[in-house]
Amino acid sequence: MKHLLEFRDRELVKKLLDRIKAVSTQEVKLMEVCGTHTVSIFRYGVRDLLPPNIQLLSGPGCPVCVTSNQNIDEAIAAAGLPQVILTTFGDMLKVPGSRSSLAKAKADGADVRIVYSTMEALEIAKTNPGRDVVFFGIGFETTAPTVAAAILTAEAQGVGNFSIIGTHKLIPEAMRAIITDGRIGVNGFICPGHVSTIIGIEPYEFLAAEYGIPSVITGFEPVDLLQGIYMLVRQIEQGEARVEVQYSRGVNREGNLTAQMMLKKVFEVEDSVWRGIGPIPGTGLALRPEYGKFDARQRLEITVETVRENPGCICGDILRGLRVPMECKLFAKACSPENPIGACMVSVEGTCAAYYKYGNWERA
């Protein structure tokens, strides 16, 4: 607790703000690509503390939010099959698909269960040998190793009724897509702390080498965020571009080599569809052929109708940093955390949910 309070120390916050204001002379746009950063920025009022020439944008860092309707529809279809137990994290139940949600499927009689880890889903498979247990997995490089570990365990223990609908995504190439989109003009990236504990520093180096954009890996407390912003602004003002690590207590250069080895053993890189962005090359993880028996899409007859998006939802533009939630005609009216129309309102890490809970807007 002592160390936690140090990273929320008011005097340190004030000193960092003074440093930022002293060094910052340019209009800059900085994007965080981590949902936990988005929540922390709103929770601690970081946007309101910064000088007006520094704009913070929220990017595609919420794993619930970037999961495509195609994948949501697949999970709903799998849950409706006879003898299937569909397991997933709690946030996924309320995410709207094209026509329904897992919560509605559960209400209609599907066996949908919330789990807190992939290993819990594997245990359900062990205790229900006569049924197919499917884990609907989402997330980035942080959670993908846990899925790999569960598959390796299932293989070693001969669990034949366990499979996954995998939608795991890789962050760095999504950052490239944000840059090459060309409409936002990001000057620097606040890189995700949790993801970086797994992948290390090297995957971000293309940002500086190819695009001249600085990046800083930061932690999640107010002092972390402000120190990271200061480091970014200082690089920009000095005309520099490199990867820096503010979150040194959690991230090293190499990352977690054990987790990386498990990912490479179980998965291979593929293209992936991101909600609102579309297909991004090299941002998905597919099971290698030798682990194909754990792919629910291969094991089960999963069919979905035509995939469609809610025409009134602008979640896609919000995930790219092009628009903010208050620009959506549904925000805080038809769409709320209790009745989400779009994925960005479902997860606590979603930009719309963060604006709704912490933002300065009038509740109608």
| CATH code of residue 238 | 3.40.50.11750
- Same domain assignment for residues 25 and 138: no
- Same domain assignment for residues 158 and 107: yes
Beta-ladder partners of 84: 132
In the predicted structure, residue 162 carries a pLDDT above the cut 90: yes
Query: Which range is least confidently modeled, 130-144, 160-174, 306-320?
Result: 306-320
Q: Does pTM surpass 0.75?
A: yes
Q: How far apart are CA 10 and CA 178, in angstroms?
A: 34
Q: How far apart are CA 232 and CA 240, in angstroms?
A: 9
- Same domain assignment for residues 295 and 314: no
Task: Output the pLDDT for position 191.
Answer: 98
- Same domain assignment for residues 101 and 164: yes
Amino acid at 102: L
- Same domain assignment for residues 10 and 112: no
Domain count, the chain: 3
Domain membership of residue 83 (yes or no) is yes
Q: How far apart are CA 282 and CA 139, in angstroms?
A: 15
- Same domain assignment for residues 20 and 86: no
6: burial class by Cβ within 10 Å (0-12, 13-18, 19+)? exposed
The Cα-based distances of 359 to 29, 147, 331, 332 in angstroms read: 19, 35, 12, 11
- Same domain assignment for residues 186 and 166: no
Residue 191's closest CA among 234, 244, 235, 236?
A: 244
Average pLDDT for residues 66-84, to the nearest whole number? 96
- Same domain assignment for residues 107 and 76: yes
Q: What are phi and psi of 306, to 5 degrees?
A: -55, 130
Q: Which residues contact 209 (CB under 8 A, 6 or more apart)?
A: none
Average pLDDT for residues 310-333, to the nearest whole number? 92
Task: Output the pLDDT for position 287.
Answer: 97
Task: Output the pLDDT for position 182.
Answer: 82
Task: Output the pLDDT for position 195.
Answer: 97
Q: How confident is the model at residue 364 (pLDDT cuts 50, 70, 90)?
A: very low
Task: Classify residue 255 as left (phi > 0), alpha (psi -120 to 50) or beta.
Answer: left
Q: How confident is the model at residue 345 (pLDDT cuts 50, 70, 90)?
A: very high
- Same domain assignment for residues 7 and 48: yes
| 3-class DSSP state of 123 | helix
The whole domain housing 317 covers: 310-356
In the predicted structure, residue 199 carries a pLDDT above the cut 70: yes
% of the chain surpassing 90 pLDDT: 89
Domain membership of residue 70 (yes or no) is yes
Q: How far apart are CA 232 and CA 64, in angstroms?
A: 28
- Same domain assignment for residues 92 and 20: no
Domain membership of residue 363 (yes or no) is no
Domain membership of residue 361 (yes or no) is no
Cβ atoms of 300 and 84 within 8 Å: the answer is yes
Q: How confident is the model at residue 307 (pLDDT cuts 50, 70, 90)?
A: confident
Domain membership of residue 6 (yes or no) is yes
| pLDDT tens-place string over residues 137-156 | 999 999 999 999 999 999 99
Q: How confident is the model at residue 362 (pLDDT cuts 50, 70, 90)?
A: low
Instruction: Give the sign of the dihedral formed by CA 332, CA 337, CA 338, CA 342.
Output: positive
- Same domain assignment for residues 96 and 236: no
Average pLDDT for residues 196-204, to the nearest whole number? 97
- Same domain assignment for residues 92 and 159: yes
Average pLDDT for residues 188-217, to the nearest whole number? 97
Q: Is residue 286 within a helix (H) or strand (E), and if so which, with residue range?
A: strand 278-287
